[in-house]
Structure 1
Amino acid sequence: MTSSTYRARRAHRAQRILTATVAAFAAAAALTFSIGARGAASADEAQQLKSTLTPLGAERAGSKDGVIPAWTGAEVKGGDLQGGRRSDPFASEKPLYTITAQNMAQYVDKLTDGQQALLKKYPDYRIDVYSTHRTGIGPQWVYDATFKNATNAKLEAGNLKVTGAYGGIPFPIPKSGDEAIWNHLLRWAPAGEVEDYNHYAITADGSRVLLASGKLYEQRPYYVKGGADKFDGYYWKGYQVNLAPALRAGEATVGWAAIDRADSVDPAWTYLPGQRRVRKLPVAAYDTPVPATSGFSTFDELNVFLGAPDRYEWKIIGKKELIVPYNVNRALQYKDDQVLGKHFINPDAVRWEVHRVWVVDAQLKPGKRHQIPHKRFYLDEDTWTAVLADGWDANGQLWKSYWQWLVTMSDAPGALATSFGSYDLTTGAYLAETLLGSSRAQYVIPAQGLSNDMFTAEAMAAAGQ
């Protein structure tokens, strides 16, 4: 081989390497761009929110068999406050049918893995299914904001940062599981609420443990009408004070949730009356135990899912018809001791209906850590609320089954998330959080909202003096 031929081959080889490298960088750049900024429906797609889709992104049409009615957007009637307690607009209705372990095979396609496991585990567990009412609505200004968000909102920094959204569902026509779970996090709810809560753990032997009882104040700056210019980047703020049991009386916690988790964190502070001081919690996210529940639940199990979504790969599996807890105003008519059974929630207290849900799967990312590496969420299409979920352990065994009740409220308006909890399918224990049956204040919506000043460590410290 001559030297000139050798040099020519080397040059040709170098050119091929350069071409391949440029192509690789171009592909990486394209991937980075696609991961770095997603969302924003086209103008034509957004028009569906005024035709075939509801203003929040659900299908307007009913189901083919007529079980799920068409969405009309009619004003919610009932579920109003009467002396601090909410009424049941469907109290006179009777179950259409009841699902038990004996007949569950007929309905298995409309049951989650967790509900099937409960039916198999407990012979006396049952699911009473009622007529479906699509009470998932919102005020017109939220509809208008959602329509605007549809073409403006984007998901950046992986799935950590929502931009271009305020006052409505950010991604009413979702293109990914990340967008769908952010819809749950930013679902419609009034800008402020107050409730008297009770958190319980039921042990494997059926013993009832009051974890905490007290007052909860919640603020949603993201849903302050006309407040976009003053929005500080935290879509949720909570302040709770424990009044019982005696050992925990006086403890308080303040926590915030950020819409931009790429550049911010979710801060949380707790007040310890014995020390008469406020302490900032080092990590108030993921599977870190929640102080208010004595560590029985974790931060990202609140409301089925709360906080940072970055430890999971989120995938939309599809949409399906499912039997879910919905319009569960009947539970608010029962005292807590009537709701809490030995191994499960009293079936008499829970109303189940057939609704369409988004099925969103969450798999732990490589290199990340979480005690529940696989979860599957079921998001109600009308409200985007995670009404049910299941969780599998590292061995692939079904471990937890989560639930969250939607309650009809005429003054909201809409069907809003209230009580939630989970069943531990391995030990037989379960949690029921924010029960309101024995409460004097069941999701009170202050007419003037709540002051931003009360959701601070300083205000909590001053109140504890």
Structure 2
Amino acid sequence: MHHYIHLLVVTAGAALAAQAVAAPSADEIRQLGTTLTPLGGEKAGSKDGTIPQWEGGICTPPAGYTPRRGRVGGGPYVDPYANDKPVLRITAANLGQYQDRIDAGTRELFKRYPKTYAMEVYPTRRSACFPNWVYENTRDRAGKPRLVGTAPGITGAHAQIPFPIPKNGYEVMWNMVLRYELPSFQFAFEAGLMDTSGTLTRASFQVADAQNLYWNNAVASLPEDKPYKAVISRSLEPASQAGLASLRSSFLRQDLHDDLAWSYVPGQRRVRRAPEFAYDTVSTTSGGLLIFDEIAGWDGKMDKYDFKLIGKKEMYIPYNAYRTLAAPLDQVMVKDHENPAYMRWELHRVWVVEGTLKPGERHIQQKKVFLVDEDSWNAPVYYGVDHQGQVNHLMHLPAIQAYDVPGVQTKAFILYDLSRGIYGYQTKPLGRPDQYGEIAVDRFPPNHFTPDALAGSGIR
């Protein structure tokens, strides 16, 4: 029986006792870049050698990389592991041998679709690599970030992984929320919906501008009363949604500020505040599947749940999914579930965090569980449990090492609504001339992420 590694259990009550946990010691900080990776993962491989030692990852593009947008980077990406062959195929027939390394949500797919669902497990490749300044900031500033308030918010953190040696669930969650990404970028994404009959519908195609000032290393810190992150998205397809636009912005001090959201509807020709774009409100552009606090695994304030750090565990997670992202929707999406031939699973160490709904709070999910990759702080797997104790939402978030950045990027998610037997896929694919993944932008105009700018961007 597989066991938890470095088991840490911290209870966070309504008063958020987790904030009282001491900062990492000088001895712990000295482990960053030695026994630990610069961002806090275990550098050593597993005892059986299945998980190799981290050797620095893929920091430069491999031969043959010719991005569609030229020097700014982005896709298409060359798969550096294209010649890898699966080392294991897990099916319903042999699931019992491996189920302790598979999350409860994914095990439900084996149970529901025993004849067709499978996991192709490939050699583990610890490809994660980030800019050197990210490593330096994380090491040099370790111990400065603090959780504050009961939401909680965060203070004292900038351009770093705030808690590379986490002590509780909230710290891991903030590491996931503040995982590395470009400070200014653009992307395009499309969403597909698969119904119970096996009919695929293209739910939407959108373009977006994003700004994450937390990762602007040119400044020393950010004002805590201003949003650190903002995204404007604009719908282009289908025709019924063309012209719809939204603006969402987030604060580091979640204990003091609610996230802000606005929407623009062409028929009304006005921008309105959209406070409902939060928690378990359903996003209409996702085909009616995604709830707002599931965006990228987790999005928004942490005030409704108590987040407990269960520990670290070796688990199968989607990783280095270059083939997934290069394929069109109708190849990745087949009846009932993702096409096993296009999903690459690897064994990695992950932090397991469980969020439990606080007494008196309302949400469609009683629990949320996250598997957070130790090398990148991305969450490749998330699932939610309803008030009857059943997994109702399962999300697979296949990531790649974007070696042009460099950094691990989650460029897609597959979301199952297990209560209805349907699923959706949202991706930044490369099958059309206007799809290029993510590309860096030098900067946006000062007033770009404002309601007035939203009105101008949404008019058709």
Query: Shared fold by TM > 0.5?
Result: yes
The match for 2:157 among 156, 161, 165 is 165
Contact persistence 1:199–1:433 (CA under 8 A): yes
Contact persistence 2:367–2:384 (CA under 8 A): yes
Contact persistence 1:202–1:208 (CA under 8 A): yes
Aligned positions of 1:11-410 closer than 5 A: 34=17, 38=21, 40-78=23-61, 80=65, 82-83=67-68, 84-122=75-113, 123-230=115-222, 233-410=226-403
Contact persistence 2:234–2:458 (CA under 8 A): no
Q: Does 1:431 align with 2:414?
A: no
- Per the TM alignment, residue 241 of structure 1 is displaced from its structure 2 partner at its CA by 0.7
Contact persistence 1:195–1:442 (CA under 8 A): yes
Amino acid at match of 2:283: V
Amino acid at match of 2:110: L
Contact persistence 1:190–1:223 (CA under 8 A): yes
- Per the TM alignment, residue 48 of structure 1 is displaced from its structure 2 partner at its CA by 1.3
Q: Please list every run of 5 or more consecutive structure 1 residues that lacks an aligned counterpart in the other structure.
A: 1-30
Q: Distance in 1 between matches of 2:436 and 2:66?
A: 8
Q: Which moved more, 1:126-135 or 1:71-80?
A: 71-80
- Per the TM alignment, residue 34 of structure 1 is displaced from its structure 2 partner at its CA by 4.4
Q: Distance in 2 between matches of 1:447 and 1:279?
A: 28
Q: Which moved more, 1:269-278 or 1:319-328?
A: 269-278
Counterpart for residue 419 of structure 1: 412
Q: Distance in 2 between matches of 1:372 and 1:215?
A: 30
Q: Cα distance 1:32–1:314, how it changes in 2: closer, same or farther (>3 A)?
A: closer
Q: SS of 1:201's equivalent?
A: strand
Q: Cα distance 1:159–1:449, how it changes in 2: closer, same or farther (>3 A)?
A: same
Q: Cα distance 1:227–1:421, how it changes in 2: closer, same or farther (>3 A)?
A: farther
Amino acid at match of 2:49: G
Give CA deviations for 1:151-204 in whole Å, capped at 9, x if unaligned. 101001024210110001111111110111111000111212222210122222
Give CA deviations for 1:27-74 in whole Å, capped at 9, x if unaligned. xxxx96945555632222211113211111100001111111111214
- Per the TM alignment, residue 230 of structure 1 is displaced from its structure 2 partner at its CA by 4.9
Amino acid at match of 2:204: A
Q: Does 1:454 align with 2:448?
A: yes
Amino acid at match of 1:245: P
- Per the TM alignment, residue 221 of structure 1 is displaced from its structure 2 partner at its CA by 0.8
Q: Cα distance 1:74–1:296, how it changes in 2: closer, same or farther (>3 A)?
A: closer
**Number of paired residues?**
435
Give CA deviations for 1:307-343 in whole Å, capped at 9, x if unaligned. 1111111111111111100010111221111111111
Cα root mean square deviation, aligned: 2.0
Q: Cα distance 1:78–1:121, how it changes in 2: closer, same or farther (>3 A)?
A: farther
Counterpart for residue 4 of structure 2: none
The structure with the larger Rg is 1
Q: Distance in 1 between matches of 2:209 and 2:15?
A: 40
Q: Which moved more, 1:299-308 or 1:79-88?
A: 79-88
Q: Which moved more, 1:390-399 or 1:52-61?
A: 390-399
Q: Distance in 2 between matches of 1:423 and 1:157?
A: 33
Contact persistence 2:395–2:415 (CA under 8 A): yes
Counterpart for residue 8 of structure 2: none
TM-score, normalised relative to structure 2: 0.90
Q: Does 1:441 align with 2:426?
A: no
Q: SS of 2:457's equivalent?
A: helix
Amino acid at match of 1:82: P
Give CA deviations for 1:386-411 in whole Å, capped at 9, x if unaligned. 11022211011222221111112111
Higher helix share: 1
Q: Distance in 1 between matches of 2:236 and 2:247?
A: 15
Q: Distance in 1 between matches of 2:443 and 2:82?
A: 30
Q: Cα distance 1:32–1:422, how it changes in 2: closer, same or farther (>3 A)?
A: closer
Counterpart for residue 26 of structure 1: none
Q: Distance in 2 between matches of 1:120 and 1:32?
A: 39
Q: Distance in 1 between matches of 2:360 and 2:66?
A: 48
Q: Distance in 2 between matches of 1:102 and 1:451?
A: 56
Q: SS of 1:332's equivalent?
A: helix
Q: Distance in 2 between matches of 1:272 and 1:204?
A: 31
Counterpart for residue 7 of structure 2: none
Q: Distance in 2 between matches of 1:55 and 1:159?
A: 28
Q: Which moved more, 1:69-78 or 1:328-337?
A: 69-78
Contact persistence 1:36–1:158 (CA under 8 A): no
Q: Cα distance 1:131–1:451, how it changes in 2: closer, same or farther (>3 A)?
A: farther
Q: Distance in 2 between matches of 1:317 and 1:46?
A: 22
- Per the TM alignment, residue 454 of structure 1 is displaced from its structure 2 partner at its CA by 2.1
